[in-house]
Amino acid sequence: MADLFTSYMGLKLRNPLIVGSSDLTRSASGIKRCEEAGAGAVIMKSIFEEQFLAEDDIQDRDYTVHPEALDYMRGGGLLEYAPHSITRIIEEAKKDISIPIIASINCQTPKLWPSFARQIQEAGADGLELNIYFLPIDIDSPCKVYEDQHLQILKEVKKEVSIPVSVKLTSQITSVPYLGRRLAQAGCDALVLFNWFLEPDIDVENLKTRSLIGKGNFYQSLRWIALLADRIDCDLASSGGVQKAEDIVKQILAGASAVQVCTLFYKKGLDEIKNLLGGMETWMDEHQYSGIEDFKGELSFKKQELRFRDLGEAEAYFRAQYLKAYSK
């Protein structure tokens, strides 16, 4: 019988299926339900910098919170999941949950990331995911500015905590491999590919803009997991678009150590975890793989690269595939 054990960012997971950061994981009882349903680990709902500021009523001109965000939080939207309660949730959850609990924070202000990280470690979280989300609006800022911000946040957080730290990236970064390598060199324990942006839309009747919730893109994750696996010195997790067991197998073949899933559980419930894991075991048995390491990264670029003389030839190969696809 196949063994689904995997190691992810230095943590031991009974299987690679992680329930992604969402409202499914924002309470100790929610995390318990994920464990009972069979998940290998959970990422807790992200805590946002604005929640820390609002909870402590911090008035500081360094910290700008848009009034709409404050109104939303004070209306009950996010304040009940504020920093003091997240540390209590972690403490409570750690009493009778044995799967790893990875907290998630999303900040804008460089000063705040490290101090939140420390509080979360002290509460007993097994790991920390930095949900880094910048929308580059400034036409005078080159991509280096944004890439350096990622590095700076990671380095400051790593100074404060000893638990493993992952970075969840957006796909809209000039060079995912280059930034990924720099983050790995700076001590990032895992990269999560990808976060999603809010999608813009326009209400043509009322001439207003509006934001739509984003969507995970399975193939985008698959591409970059395959391109990064075994070429940078940290683990990889995919996040986006998993619908069935075969999708998890694909991400592992590309090189992922773990796979985060969310929307599927909103649609079909956490019972779906058993089907996903059962499907993986069946596939592994049929292909005579006894463990995840036996096939992890088998179809990564690193393995395929051996077919090419050098990176230039690999780029030419991808260019040829592109040309063929557009010439049909």
Ligand X SMILES: Cc1cc2nc3c(=O)[nH]c(=O)nc-3n(C[C@H](O)[C@H](O)[C@H](O)COP(=O)(O)O)c2cc1C
Report the interface residues with ligand X, using CB under 6 A.
20-23, 45-46, 104, 131, 168, 195, 216, 239-242, 260-264, 266
Closer Cβ to ligand X, 6 or 221, answer by number: 221
Smallest gap from residue 312 Cβ to ligand X (A) = 34
CA distances from 289 to 2, 242, 297 (A): 7, 21, 13
Smallest gap from residue 141 Cβ to ligand X (A) = 23
Closer Cβ to ligand X, 21 or 119, answer by number: 21
Cα 55-57-59 angle, rounded to 5 deg: 145
Closer Cβ to ligand X, 228 or 289, answer by number: 228
Joined tokens for residue 25? 């994981």
Count the helix, strand and coil residues of the chain and give each as a percent rounded to the nearest 5.
45, 20, 35
Closer Cβ to ligand X, 119 or 166, answer by number: 166
DSSP tag of 278: H
Smallest gap from residue 54 Cβ to ligand X (A) = 16
Smallest gap from residue 225 Cβ to ligand X (A) = 14
Smallest gap from residue 264 Cβ to ligand X (A) = 6
Residue nearest to ligand X (CB): 216
Smallest gap from residue 317 Cβ to ligand X (A) = 30
As beta bridge partners, residue 103 has 128
Smallest gap from residue 14 Cβ to ligand X (A) = 20
Closer Cβ to ligand X, 180 or 216, answer by number: 216
How many C-beta neighbours within 10 Å does residue 15 have? 23
Cα 212-213-216 angle, rounded to 5 deg: 130
Question: What does residue 82 show for φ and ψ, rounded to 5 degrees?
Answer: -95, 170
Which of 150, 196, 136 has its CA nearest to residue 171?
196
Joined tokens for residue 55? 């909870």
Question: What does residue 290 show for φ and ψ, rounded to 5 degrees?
Answer: -90, -20
Smallest gap from residue 166 Cβ to ligand X (A) = 11
Distance CA 42, CA 21 (A): 7
Closer Cβ to ligand X, 42 or 163, answer by number: 42
Closer Cβ to ligand X, 23 or 56, answer by number: 23
Matching residue, tokens 């929308």: 135
CB 273 within 8 A of CB 38: yes
Peptide bond into 194 cis (omega under 30): yes
Closer Cβ to ligand X, 20 or 164, answer by number: 20
